[in-house]
Structure 1
């Protein structure tokens, strides 16, 4: 559970990119990602997406080892236009055990506001 007075600053360790599960894509995220990759929207959809586990939309595909398909080494291939799910981790959502794998640094919200 996140503490309301703490903000976690991402250290780009990529641990969240290696966790199995859906990386949800919202409708408004498809065109910017496709454009960033230099692909037509349909080509992006055909190459890099699948139906979500709950069948309620699209998700990025995973590599065989469960890493996100957009992870190249220790960098996100689409970082400037990454999905909101990715941008929100770990402050807007997280998963059980995330603190054991994530290197995000906790900062008191009061320190950010001053």
Structure 2
């Protein structure tokens, strides 16, 4: 089990490259839309998808599976100061069904 007190982000960006949902609340959608200078409705229509269980909206991914707000060089988040709670709470609120997901910081937290 992951323990947040043992977790230290290495700023590697691996968690931003992982395929999967980044669920966001309406409040988070409103904040991100405002940052981008978009109407909330347009942001939701153009930059989110409905999750398979139809209970949440999630940020869309780039073709390579990375987050649309991830910048690769250097690894960084374009909306870091207002990133969704799911991202702020990594790795506590994340789970992976795939063993392909490897984050160096997460491996240290699990020891």
TM interval, shorter chain, is 0.7 to 0.9
Q: Secondary structure at 2:104's aligned position in 1?
A: coil
Please list the CA deviations of residues 30-78 of structure 1 after superposition, one character each: whole Å capped at 9, or x if unmatched: 1111111221112211221011122112000011111111112221111
Give the deviation of 1:3 after TM superposition: 4.2
Q: Which runs of 5+ in 2 are unaligned?
A: none
Q: Which runs of 5+ in 1 are unaligned?
A: 108-114
TM-score normalized by the length of structure 1: 0.78
Structure with more strand by fraction: 1
TM-score normalized by the length of structure 2: 0.79
Whichever of the two has the greater Rg, that structure is 1
Name the count of aligned residue pairs. 105
Q: Are the equivalent residues in 2 in contact too, given 1:49–1:58 (CA < 8 A)?
A: yes
Q: What is aligned with 2:54?
A: 55
Q: Are the equivalent residues in 2 in contact too, given 1:8–1:91 (CA < 8 A)?
A: no
Give the deviation of 1:101 after TM superposition: 2.2
